[in-house]
Structure 1
Amino acid sequence: MEELRKLEKVQRMLEFMESRGVSNSNHHSNRFLANFIIFMIQPCGDLAINDKCCVLSHFIPTLSSSFLKDAYQHHHFSTTSEQSCGNALPCPILSCFQQSLVGDALLSCNQTEEYSLLQSCNENMPMVGLDSMEMANSTLEDFCRSYLMFHGLDVSKPQSIFKHLPILSFTESYIYQLDKMNEKLLQTPNNEKHVFGVKDKRETELFVSCFSNDPLRPLVTILEHKGLLTERIREELRHGEEYWALERKLCSALINKEEILVEEVMKAVHLKSFDYRVLNLLLYELQGTKVEELHMEFLSISEFLVEVSDDL
């Protein structure tokens, strides 16, 4: 839903620009300008709008094509390769790709990391990146505080958390990783055109391949190997794939000014917390206890209300 909010902001800005005659027939140019205007009006220290305009007027002449190419190479090669390569487990080396970083629009180190993870997705060798683990951390903390009590576990006792943390953390991190890839993909379900414009063809093919070839299969294989996979967990994981497909469809409809059905939005909200339900069902299996249907029903309503409040 975060991506939907971002798209809505951009769409409102595009409509504002059109009403003021600040647009042309080039869709990508308009989108670039809309994002730039949104960036300009964001607070930045004590700089007022006039100050920002003065800064731009002073430095715009120096922002030549060659300068921006050098800046791109410095940012994506020097910074990203040094800081981000440690995030993947394992991280492929950038030297695998020797073409020009700028002219050929090659994968950055982050994209290379995702390429490696996508390869593992197809090889039933699930891996997660450190950034995905970090993003999953807040969900795991919330899960422990809100759900452990329903399993007779004390959140204040470390052994209650660490006993089952590895499989819970891995599962949530893997889901977050796919969620991040889905947000980058954001393609329409029919024509595979990207919401955010033209992207690198190779990256596109990798992401499309992952989401069209059972992206959760490696996770399912691990859970099955551990004796934790149940039909209900399978069903919730299928709900996750359905949610990602709905997210792509809704984002595409929003950006293309197509009709958005309230029923589909409500369905997406209902499906969004599938990861909490997966973790909850896993904890029942890890504890060796029967699923308490009353708790599941109560938590399902609670999850829905939380998602609605988050989007208000």
Structure 2
Amino acid sequence: MEALMELEKVQRVLSFMSSRGLSDAGGGGAAADRFLAQFILFLVQPCDSLSMEKKLLLVSELLRKASPDTLEEVKHLATLEDDQDLSSQSLLQPNKKCKMHEEKLTIQASPVVGFDAITRANSTLEDFVVERNKQAFDETSLSQMIDPLDDLLQCQGLMTDRLRTELKLGIQYWSLERKLCQALARNEKISIEDVMRAIHLKSFDYRVLNLLMYQLTSQQINDLHMDFLSVSELLVEISDDL
């Protein structure tokens, strides 16, 4: 519900920007307007004793000194630790080679679900992966099960960093789900934080399919649309469990 309220705030600011002529005029589209709306919301947040005038002055001075290279350096510093954590987990390593044979895509030395089968299926990505093995897995073995799908999407030119991130979140969900189920089976205490995390991650397969639809239709991802769907998915998951 909190996320839904945040989306409502952004939408109100977007409407305000449009009425005051503050929307982006440089052709950045919805993504640019959304960035500006979130930036404005950030500026109006209380920060000690800083006034609105002082905040604008600080930002104006910073923008005169900063450059795109400065932002890239900050981005690198901010993401360096996260990248190290992800690499240490060895998740989703796309290291298999693909080849074309008689105009049909195959993946060497690994059983896969065909791309045509995915487009025809009515079930979710979880069905494709989990049904291959009903045993308990850790995150490493789960990532190995995802590898064929990762390779297939790469060979089709559909894999993106954002899509790969969602697949990693799916691995986290499957691992967390097994942890919670095992704890319940043993009458052990479970963490409410783990439960909430699992609920947020559970609909990763729908997010993967939505991202694939954007790729297949060659459309730019609408972040506002994805955020709305994320909140909607959370409410649906909670409703299903009631």
TM-score normalised to structure 2 length? 0.49
